[in-house]
């Protein structure tokens, strides 16, 4: 592994600044988090996108959110087939080991993954149809959402598909037996929101996702 390189110096500098300030001010808390373990209140599933950092939006500090981030904040359906499912593993750990009280799926506008899915499903991105396209195969999860938006006016489809990325994920979450049980017993609540990057607004799923209202 000759390929591991030293961290870029600008990040080293910022890290030293963080350690001398934020870490120093909170060292007692970090020590306790290390010794007692984490006990986050919520799991957040959001996109890898560099423009959506939920800790900022919600003023959440270390220890509050267990965060899984993948392309387009998707959760696949339950499939206990012995294969590697990173998202399912994260959900399983959060719900069965950490017993989070809330599971919040956070979508966003201008999502590259969703746009790619829309292009693929509408026949404009054959390269994503290929077996070897990891992004394409991942976005297959959102195909049921495309079916629900494809008859909308053209200029509304991508926005609707961004909301479907949240709703499909919540539907799939309910196919996991441990999620379903926890939701039905009142130990876990599911939430779906979409963040508008440009305006900074949050839209919230209401009435089972049939309506979306600004918070």
Least Cα distance to 71 among 128, 125, 175, 141 occurs for 141
**Applying CB under 8 A, which of residues 150, 151, 170, 194 lies at the interface with its own copies?**
170
Q: How far is the CB of 160 from its own copies (least distance, A)?
A: 15
What residues between 83 and 112 interact with its own copies by CB under 8 A?
83-94, 97, 99, 101-102, 104, 109-110, 112
What residues between 112 and 151 interact with its own copies by CB under 8 A?
112-113, 131-135, 137-141
The whole-angstrom distance between residue 58's C-alpha and the CA centroid of its chain comes to: 15
> Residue with structure tokens 């080991």?
97
> Residue with structure tokens 């993954």?
113
**Applying CB under 8 A, which of residues 119, 144, 148, 191 lies at the interface with its own copies?**
191
What residues between 4 and 33 interact with its own copies by CB under 8 A?
4-33
64 binds its own copies (CB under 8 A): yes
State the Cα–Cα distance between residues 76 and 87, nearest whole angstrom.
8
Query: 49: annotated binding-site residue?
Result: yes
Nearer to its own copies, 97 or 123 (CB): 97
Q: Which two tokens stand for residue 136?
A: 């394409």
Per the DSSP assignment, residues forming a β-bridge with 191 are: 104
Q: Which two tokens stand for residue 31?
A: 């020590």
Per CB under 8 A, the segment of 117-125, 144-152, 155-163, 185-193 that binds its own copies is: 185-193
Nearer to its own copies, 14 or 124 (CB): 14
Q: How far is the CB of 128 from its own copies (least distance, A)?
A: 11
Q: Which string of b and e fits 77-112 if b means at least 16 CB within 10 Å?
A: ebeeeeeebebbebbeebbeebebeebbbbbbbebe
Residue stretches of the annotated binding site for Zn(2+): 47, 49, 108, 111
């Amino acid at each position: 592994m000759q390929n591991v390189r030293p961290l870029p110096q600008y990040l080293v500098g910022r890290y030293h600044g963080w350690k001398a300030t934020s870490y120093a001010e909170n060292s007692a808390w970090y020590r306790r988090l290390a010794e007692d373990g984490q006990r986050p209140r919520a799991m957040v599933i959001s996109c890898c996108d560099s423009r959506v950092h939920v800790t900022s939006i919600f003023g959440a500090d270390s220890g509050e959110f267990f965060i899984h981030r993948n392309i387009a904040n998707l959760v696949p359906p339950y499939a206990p087939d012995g294969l590697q499912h990173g998202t399912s593993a994260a959900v399983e750990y959060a719900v069965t080991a950490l017993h989070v009280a809330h599971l919040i799926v956070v979508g966003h506008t201008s999502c590259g993954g969703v746009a790619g899915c829309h292009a693929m499903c509408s026949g404009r991105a054959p390269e994503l149809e290929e077996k070897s396209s990891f992004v394409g195969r991942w976005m297959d999860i959102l195909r049921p959402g495309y079916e629900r938006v494809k008859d909308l006016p053209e200029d509304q489809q991508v926005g609707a598909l961004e909301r479907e990325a949240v709703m499909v994920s919540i539907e799939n979450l309910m196919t996991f037996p441990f999620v379903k049980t926890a939701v039905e017993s009142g130990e876990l609540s599911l939430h779906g929101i979409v963040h508008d990057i440009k305006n900074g607004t949050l839209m919230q799923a209401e009435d089972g996702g049939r309506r979306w209202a600004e918070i």
